[in-house]
Structure 1
Amino acid sequence: MTVSSAVEPPTAADSQQLAGTDSTSNKGVQFWLVFLGLCFAGFVAATDSTIIFTALPTIANDFGGQSQYVWLGNAYVFASTAIQPLYGQVSNIFGRRYPMLMSVALFALGSGIAGGANSTAMFISGRLVQGLGAGGMIMLIDLIVCDLLPLRERSTYLGTVLGACAVGSVLGPVIGGAIVTRSTWRWAFWINLPVCALTLAVMVPFLRISSRRSPSWVHSVSRIDYLGNTVFVGSITSILIGLVQGGVVYPWKSWQTILPIVLGFSQLSASALTSGLNILPINAFMIPSGAVAGAILTKTGRYKPLHWAGFGVLAISCGLFSTMSSSTSTIAWAWFEILAGIGIGLPLTTQLPAVQAVLSESDTAISTSTYSFVRSFGFVWGATIPSIVFNSRVDAMLGSITDTKVRAALAGGGAYSYALSVKDITDQTLQQTLEVYREAMRVVWFVGLAFALVGFLLVFAEKHVEMRVTLETEFGLKQAKPAEKQITNKSKEGA
């Protein structure tokens, strides 16, 4: 994908509005309000990505759409993943403000459609619109943070936004379970509307980002690489469809249902609320670890030690997870999760600044959109690879189960959907089945260990680059107008 560089030179007024060319030490009320809006957007996008976990079975049952279960759950993933690079290009052409506002508006519109859906097709359409909005929100949150702060400071603020996202991810399944239990599943989507309204209420007046202007609207539109984007989105969608259809061949329903099993936190028979609490140690330590890593990077400017530590601790946690069995105590696996949270958190907020250290500020949009896309795309692979390994290992061990009915239920990827029924098995068959699950999970954790070790070794190939402490960008916050400054000064005097 290419972007034409022919644009109208900035006027004198525009030059005066380019923010942060000297330093970013001045963070006024406008900065903090915009940053708060970004946190709201991250929270609502993360909550929606997990809230459907517990609501989806009820939704499929209401629509009689069990045969389309995989599409009900993954339409959102398709749209949000494939659209991110296009947002990066559009934000370079039209600036950050309008793509961000459009993303929040699309997300709200999709939430309303999905919540009010009276058919499977309408629900899937709503989820697609939601995904188009969420993809832009996810990418543009990181991009705007990078626009407002110099390279050395970015990881600290990215960690704060990550904290808002993590809180949303943790609360999502719990909120979804509570809504399904006490009310209609439709509120799982309608609940997004007031948060989106609050986000827009902050961003519309305060998210004023400078940008270079094209000579005309026609010129701006002509700079979009339509062919490249069409080919790219089409190819990525095809890959995603292939990955998700694998869940039909191996009927684990949808990739979201893999996570509680692969992570080993759902105990097979845990409720939605219990599952949310079981993964709390990871999220509780991932957020502070990311914040600490961001602070260290801001202070020292060195990211390689943080990446080594992160992948090293993650490898240790995967090794410990592989030792788990039905007799593993709660304290033990909670500590394994804590280590995993630390291992994930340390590189999570420091990878994007490391990528951008070797690039100029003009490449911020491209680097951010690419990083955001790879992260989302990797999440799909991170669910698919363990499922393939798990299913293969279960099939290989079916001979150790004497009960033919149980054996048939577990075959061909049925182990995922059968997990909740394991509690109904008794005596010798129960022990045989649990051993099959334990062994299959052990191999999955070995694969995770291998990936963590590869990451650890790749850090040796990273090049250390001094991180910039000043910001030179044409996409900073516009300076307040004289009238606004007078109002601000009067407010200060009155205080």
Structure 2
Amino acid sequence: MMTEGNSLERRVSSSPDAADDHLHSWRLVIVIGTLCLGAFLYGLDANIIGAAIPRITTDFKSLPAVAWYGASYLLTVTAFQPLFGNLYKFFNAKVVYLASLFIFETGSIVCASARSSDVLIFGRALLGFGASGLLQGALAIIGCVVPLEKVPLFQGIVIAGVGISVCVGPIIGGALTQNVPAGFCALVVVFFFVPLAEGFAKNTKALPLRQKLFRMDPVGTVLFLGLVCCLLLALTWGGQQYAWDSSQVIGLCVGFGVLLLCFCTWDWKQGDMALIPLRVLGKRSVGMGAIILFAYGVVMYVYGYYLPMFFQTVQGATATESGVRYIAMMVPQIVTLALTGAIVSRWGYYVPYMISGGIIASVGSGLLTTISPATPAAQWSAYLVLTGIGVGMASQLPYTALQVVLDASDIATGNAIAVFSSQLGGSVADALHRIASTRALPRYTSAVTLEHVLGAGAGGLSQLSSSPAVLEALRYAYNDAIRDVFILGLACTCLTVLPSCAMEWLNIALESQRRKQLRESDGAERVQPQEETGVNTAYMGPSNSLKQHE
């Protein structure tokens, strides 16, 4: 039976830090900048479609297909996360990232050249498939090109690229209909500047191709794709295309339950060869981190969609003005992301910032539930800044925790679980917000039907009636509907606090230093025999070593 010390020795010897593949100076700047560009494109495609839909529906004259423009992307980008986790586990990170970026840009070309709704939906699905590997790939490459103690800093910088895309997406969405040049620029830079390093555990990448494909758990992958598709289709169709009690939606819910049971049974039987090994998901920091990222996925989707809507419908701002006002949340979030990453890289402890960020975000989210048409600009701006600081402080740190608590061969799987959880939160929020937002709209006036209000959209509210009293009633109805959705955001920010407290209290700087010491001693004389020392003290594991330090 392998001892804890030997297991951790294996982790260190096969970790990305074990080989001198780290980049420095201008090469590192170019690679990190390129990963930021990839993360920006990843987030932009998820946020740009909302602003482009009016033009698309006018050109294609296919209103029933509108829901699929966003759903096709969300479906594939969510469902294929575990598959890309296995690809990064068994194949070279650089090669997989280039492949996913190429697929992503191919989808961009299909969307840009589409002449029908069906082709556009296919292109969006292809985009989502390629995007499944972009954020995971960025996290994987960061682990290859920088030492462990600097991972939080560069993760914060790259994830800030997603935040920037959320910020500018509503502003430039009507103008940008494709991003092929920027994407192919990123592809070329990664090809030339990222080293062709194994990155994660070499023992998984050295297997024969046939054995790699077998270990990627094709049965589990198919079951997982099926259950995610059933869940997201039920949430997309329910209350929109079909009633919640319709046979189609009920059938999808039953299918989701059956496939989930089959997947869990199969996953348990497969053990370490499962698509999502239970020993990885069962680690405290992985499971708690998944809950935290799911909650923040809901929060960022809710605010990214409904704050611009509040500015347009309740306050009468234009689409561009609403995007500019939304910057009050996103700029503090982006700055705090990078700043927190730098502080954690310097100090080492990350859990205090997860707890503090969750509390600050909860306070800001609670204040946002009080806004109304009469709320002064200085007041709602302060609420946005507070919420942005809290979300930025905590939302990237679960990714950092994976680098500390997981074996090198499991980091790719951990990244897949983390990105999937965040993406699933956004996909579920896409369905829940529609349910919450339609409850209050009929409350104030019967002069305009709910169908007309929803059909007019956020920018067409003033065209529904010439009566100032009716328009005022509609503004208050929208305000109540949006506040109902903001309660969902408040619940999710509060949900992050307890799992953050349950995270393992570790220090990434001490962990990095200890791994370096073990590599140095390992190069000279491996690990001292237990007969001589009574206990293997070369590496006592994160928890024991931290207690010894304290």
TM-score higher than 0.5? yes
The answer to whether the 8 Å contact 1:50/1:173 transfers is yes
Give distance in 2, aligned partners of 1:472 and 1:30: 25
Q: CA deviation at 1:224?
A: 2.2
Q: Does 1:200 align with 2:187?
A: yes
1:78 aligns with 2:75: yes
- CA 1:449/1:148 → structure 2, altered by over 3 Å: closer, same or farther? same
Is the counterpart of residue 441 in structure 1 residue 430 in structure 2?
Answer: no
Q: What is the alpha-carbon distance in structure 1 between the residues aligned to residue 164 and residue 409 of structure 2?
A: 32
| DSSP-derived class of the 1:267 partner | helix
> Residues 64 and 53 from structure 1, CA distance in 2 versus in 1: closer, same or farther, beyond 3 angstroms?
same
Q: Could you tell me how far apart the structure 1 residues matched to 2:327 and 2:514 are?
A: 37
| TM-aligned CA deviation for residue 109 of structure 1 | 0.8
Per the alignment, residue 222 of structure 1 pairs with 214
Cα offset, 1:207, TM superposition: 2.2
Secondary structure, counterpart of 2:18 in structure 1: coil
1:238 aligns with 2:235: no
Structure 1's 218 and 359: CA in aligned 2 closer, same or farther, altered over 3 A?
closer
Give the C-alpha shift of residue 472 in structure 1: 6.8
The residue type paired with residue 188 of structure 1 is: T
Q: For 1:37 and 1:353, locate their aligned partners in 2 and report how far apart those are by CA, in whole Å.
A: 20
1:37 deviates by: 2.3
1:42 equivalent in alignment to 2:28: no
User: Matched residues, percent identical?
Assistant: 25
CA 1:316–1:443 in 2, change beyond 3 Å: closer, same or farther?
Answer: same
Q: Which residue of the partner structure matches residue 461 of structure 2?
A: 422
Amino acid aligned to 2:222: T
> For structure 1, which segment, 209-218 or 51-60, has the greater mean C-alpha deviation from structure 2 after superposition?
209-218
In structure 2, what is the Cα distance between the partners aligned to 1:274 and 1:257?
19
Take 1:24 and 1:49, find their aligned partners in 2: how far apart are those partners?
Answer: 33
Would the alpha carbon gap of residues 222 and 283 (structure 1) be closer, same or farther in structure 2, given more than 3 Å must change? same
Structure 2 residue identity aligned to 1:21: A
Q: Which residue of 2 aligns with 1:341?
A: 388
Q: In the alignment, what sits opposite 1:298?
A: 345
**RMSD between aligned alpha carbons?**
3.0
The question of whether the paired residues in 2 share the 8 Å contact of 1:152 and 1:298 is answered with yes
Mapped pair 1:357 → 2:404? yes
* Residue 149 (structure 1) aligned with residue 192 (structure 2): no
Please name the residue that 2:498 is paired with: 457
Query: Displacement, 1:106?
Result: 0.6
Q: Which residue of 2 aligns with 1:58?
A: 55
Cα distance in 2, alignment partners of residues 102 and 26 from structure 1:
22
SS, match of residue 311 in structure 2: coil
User: Where in structure 1 do 4 or more consecutive aligned residues deviate above 6 Å?
Assistant: 15-18, 22-26, 255-258
1:301-450 matched pairs, under 5 angstroms: 301-394=348-441, 398=443, 400-401=444-445, 404-406=446-448, 408-409=449-450, 415=454, 417=456, 419-424=458-463, 425=465, 426-450=467-491
Structure 1 pair 415–116 and aligned structure 2 pair: CA distance change class (3 A): closer
Matches within 5 A, 1:24-173: 27-173=24-170
Give the counterpart letter for 2:82 in structure 1: P
Note if contact 1:313-1:340 (Cα within 8 Å) is conserved in structure 2. Answer: yes
Cα distance per residue 1:380-408 (max 9 Å; x no partner):
2233333322323445xx2x43xx332x3
Q: Which secondary structure does the structure 2 equivalent of 1:248 belong to? A: coil
**Which of 315-324 and 444-453 deviates more?**
444-453
Q: Contact 1:101–1:204 (CA<8 Å) still a contact in 2?
A: yes
CA apart distance, 1:19: 5.6
Instruction: Using the TM superposition, give the Cα deviation of residue 71 of structure 1 relative to its aligned residue in structure 2, in angstroms.
Output: 0.7
- Distance in structure 1 (CA, Å) of the matches to 2:36 and 2:118: 32
1:233 Cα deviation after fit:
1.1
Q: Distance in 2 between matches of 1:98 and 1:112?
A: 21
Confirm or deny that 1:188 pairs with 2:229: no
The residue identity in structure 1 corresponding to 2:177 is A
Report the CA distance between 1:26 and its aligned residue.
6.4
Q: Which of 162, 169, 172 is the aligned partner of 1:175?
A: 172
Counterpart in the other structure of 2:262: none
Q: What displacement does 1:200 show?
A: 1.8
SS in 2 for 1:405: coil
Conservation of the 8 A alpha-carbon contact between 2:94 and 2:196: yes
Give the distance between the partners of 2:458 and 2:435, measured in 1 at CA.
16
Partner amino acid, structure 2, of 1:52: I
CA contact (8 A) 1:97 1:209 kept: yes
Whole-Å separation in 1 of the counterparts to 2:414 and 2:15: 21
Give the letter aligned to residue 347 of structure 1.
A
For the residue of structure 1 that corresponds to 2:373, the secondary structure is coil
- Distance in 1 of aligned mates of 2:347 and 2:14: 31
Question: Are 2:319 and 2:459, in contact at CA under 8 Å, matched by a contact in 1?
Answer: no
Secondary structure at the counterpart of residue 206 of structure 2: coil
Q: Tell me the matched-pair count.
A: 439
| Residue 469 of structure 1: aligned partner | 512
CA–CA distance in structure 1, aligned partners of residues 78 and 310 of structure 2: 26
Q: Is the 8 A contact 1:170 1:283 kept in 2?
A: yes
- 1:441 Cα offset (Å): 2.9
Q: Is residue 18–residue 210 contact of structure 1 (8 Å, CA) maintained in 2?
A: no
In the TM superposition, residue 194 of structure 1 has moved relative to its aligned partner by 1.1
Q: CA deviation at 1:444?
A: 2.8
The CA deviation at 1:204 is 1.3
Q: Tell me the secondary structure at the aligned position of residue 406 of structure 2.
A: coil
Question: 1:56, 1:353 → 2: CA distance?
Answer: 36
* Relative contact order, higher structure (CA 8 A, sep 6+): 1
**Aligned twin of 1:209:** 196
